[in-house]
Amino acid sequence: MRRPIETEDELLQTVYQLFAEIDPETPDEVDEIIEAGGNDPEALAEQMDALIARVLTQSPLLWRMRAQREIRNKRLQLQSFISFDRPANREAVQELLEKLRVRNPSIYAYYRNFESESDEDFATFRAELEYLLSEADTEEE
């Protein structure tokens, strides 16, 4: 019996060699060829399943994983500069609204009843206003 397969490269090379030698037609023929090569078909199938699962979840080329990482990073970035402290957010929102009104006196669309806003709404509203001001600053440059 051959030594056990230890690396992914060895696993792929073994599978490649087996399939390059013969073109089997049934799963039983495939199992016979794998066994003739000194390997356990079930163990080999489990190793291949684990390899495929790992590649699908960790590949930097997989756009879904990359998008999830980007979303998670943007959320962390947003949380890093937004406080959920209601009095601080209320004061910041009023200051940001005033800055926007100075630039454009017709901006009253952002009026909200500050008494009924939740802490999360204040934080989100503050983030929206900061974004609007940063975009306006970018356009002026």
pLDDT tens track for 93-130: 888 888 888 887 776 655 567 778 787 777 888 888 88
Q: What is the pLDDT of residue 65?
A: 73
Residues of the chain with pLDDT under 50: none
Triad 58, 63, 67: Cα angle to 5°? 95
How far is residue 137's CA from residue 115's CA, in Å, rounded to a whole number?
30
- CB under 8 Å to 25, separation ≥6 — which residues? none
